[in-house]
Structure formats: C-alpha cells, structure tokens
C-alpha cells in the first residue's frame, strides 16, 4: 500500500503553514491585498522559470489542452481570485479565528460538489475520519478568551457570509481542478494554468481601483519582499503542486480535509516564533484532529 496522496496532502499543509506566517508578516507592512497580488504574480513567474529549466514548456503553458485551460482556468479564478478576495476581507471583518472556524465547512462543501460534479463517493471510514478531524479543528479555533470584550463581541453577518463564500470558492476551485487532473497530469503545468487566469483578474482589479501605487510601494520594501518571496516559494508554488499531486490519489473532499488542518499545524510555529502558550483545549483539539487524520490513512 502506498500513501503518496496522504503524504503529499500533509506536506501541502506544512508548506502552507510556513507560507501563511510569511504572508502575515509581510501583510502587516504592505497590506494583505498587495501581498495577495504580488505572491500570485511572483509564483506565476517562478513556475514559468521552473517549467523552462526542466524543459516542460517555454515559460507559458501553451502545450496544455483546451479542457485543461477551461477547467483549471476556472479553478484559478474561483479559488485564487474570488475565494481569496472573500477570505482576506472576512479576516478583516470577523478575525482569523472565526473565519477559520467557518472555513471548516469547506471539506463538506467539497464532498457535496465532488458528488454532484465528479460523481465522487466517500467510504464510511472517509466520512468518519473527516468528521473527527473537522471536529478537532473546530474545537481548537472556536476557543475564545474570557475577557469582557469577547463576551460582548458580535460577529458581522457580512463577514461570516464572506467566509462561507471563501470556503465555497476553495471547494469549487478544487472540484473544478479535479475535473481534468489524472495520474498523468503535470502538477507544475496545472498550477501554472490556474494562476495564468487568476493573475490577470487581480491585475484588472488593481487597475480599476487604482491600487498600483500600493504595489510599487510594496516592491520597494525589502524586508516584506523577502518574507513574501519565502511564502510564495513554499505556498502557491510548492504547496499547490503538492496539493495537485495529492488529488491524483485522493478524492477532492479528503484532500480538502487535510488542507483544513492548517490551524493545527501552525500551532508549533506560533509557539516558537511568537512565544504563545497553547491551552489545554487547543492541545486536546489537535490530538482529536490528528486521530481523524490517522483514520484517513486507513485503506
């Protein structure tokens, strides 16, 4: 028995944890919208260079089929562009903790869309593993501080709606990509195509909103660009390539469940970098989530 899909999915989450911390650090300096645009544009260039050096194609994936451009292109617009726009805005309106909690519905959405569009079905063990994993994650991210401000706090309806739309974008983006991903799919090419339509969409938005001065200012910030470049290499480049590899062997819903582990995987990094203490509740939730993942490894 091989566990290529599961290992690739877990590696994806590890890469995204490092990328998330890098983007968070750079976003504090140049803004999240600017980071979002630059990281995708930079990732698109890096993928083109890798493809050229490995003789896959000459910088632009023109050797892809029409179906690959259609489905992967739509996946990029829905997932990278629309989904991320809703996600970053939701972060601002309701905060990362509640946003992450709402985002745990993404695997369920992926399972439903995968069944409707791809005809995918899940085994009883798949459903059990997903339920336990998502339960552990929800237990961790739903923890609230016992201060008076948190008791009076009421989440924005629009913010929660945007978080749900972000989860839907993530789910639909994965299912659309899965439509043309086979055992022979070149993960670099697939990732490059997704970004080939997402980057122009961001460029048009920045042009219409006249945000290009923000990009110019961000590019001049060396510290932010160093952090952003690290995050791009391990996130949108390596992380998404690994995610596409996992989708060759796993259903879209199971792959998405592994991705949902991000709040758990990021805990050790936060402990080391920000010196934050982990509460007993977070530790218990992490153990529950890991137990669910262990079930997903059972063939």
Portion of the chain with pLDDT greater than 70, in percent: 94
0.95 exceeded by pTM: no
* Whole-number pLDDT of residue 71: 96
Please check the confidence at residue 148 and state whether its pLDDT lies above 60: no
Mean per-residue pLDDT for 142-170?
Answer: 71
Top pLDDT among 274 and 120 is at: 120
At 163, phi and psi to the nearest 5? Answer: -65, -40
Closest by CA to 242, choosing from 190, 298, 299, 180, is 190
HEC string of 1-24 equals CCCHHHHHHHHHHHHHHHHHHHHH
Kindly state the percentage of the chain with pLDDT values over 90: 52
Each residue of 84-113: pLDDT tens digit?
A: 888 878 877 777 667 777 878 889 899 999
Task: Tell me the CB-side half-sphere exposure of residue 160, using CA atoms within 13 A.
Answer: 7
CA distances from 185 to 16, 49, 115, 145, 188 (A): 22, 19, 21, 46, 9
Q: What is the pLDDT of residues 237-295, one digit of tens each?
A: 999 999 999 999 999 999 999 988 888 888 888 788 777 777 888 888 888 988 888 88
Largest CA distance in the chain: 60
The helices-and-strands tally (H runs, E runs) of the chain is 15, 0
What band does 69 get if pLDDT is binned at 50, 70 and 90?
very high
Rounded Cα distance between 180 and 297, Å, is 25
Q: What is the pLDDT of residues 182-227, one digit of tens each?
A: 888 999 999 999 999 999 999 999 999 999 999 999 999 999 999 9
Q: For residue 245, what are its two tokens? A: 């590899």
Please report the pLDDT score of residue 153 as a whole number: 45
């Amino acid at each position: 028995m091989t566990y290529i899909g599961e290992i690739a999915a877990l590696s994806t989450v590890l890469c995204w944890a490092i990328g998330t911390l890098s983007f968070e650090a750079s976003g504090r300096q140049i803004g999240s919208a600017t980071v979002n645009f630059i990281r995708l544009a930079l990732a698109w260039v890096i993928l083109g260079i890798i493809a050229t050096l490995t003789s896959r194609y000459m910088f632009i994936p023109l050797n892809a089929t029409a179906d690959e451009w259609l489905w992967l292109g739509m996946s990029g617009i829905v997932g990278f562009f629309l989904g991320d726009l809703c996600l970053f805005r939701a972060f601002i309106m309701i905060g990362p903790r509640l946003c992450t909690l709402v985002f745990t519905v993404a695997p369920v959405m992926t399972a439903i869309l995968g069944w409707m569009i791809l005809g995918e079905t899940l085994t009883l063990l798949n459903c059990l593993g997903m339920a336990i994993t998502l339960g552990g994650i929800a237990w961790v991210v739903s923890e609230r501080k016992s201060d008076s401000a948190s008791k009076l706090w009421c989440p924005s309806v629009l913010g929660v709606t945007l978080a749900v739309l972000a989860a839907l974008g993530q789910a639909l983006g994965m299912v659309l990509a899965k439509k043309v991903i086979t055992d022979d799919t070149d993960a670099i090419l697939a990732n490059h195509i997704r970004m080939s339509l997402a980057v122009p969409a961001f460029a048009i938005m920045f042009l219409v909103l006249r945000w290009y001065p923000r990009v110019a200012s961000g590019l001049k910030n060396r510290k932010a660009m160093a952090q952003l470049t690290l995050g791009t290499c391990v996130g949108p480049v390596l992380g998404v390539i690994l995610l596409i590899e996992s989708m060759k062997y796993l259903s879209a819903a199971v792959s998405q469940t592994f991705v949902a582990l991000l709040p758990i995987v990021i805990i050790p990094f936060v402990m080391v970098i920000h010196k934050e203490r982990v509460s007993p509740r977070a530790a218990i939730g992490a153990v529950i989530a890991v137990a669910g993942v262990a079930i997903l490894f059972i063939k």
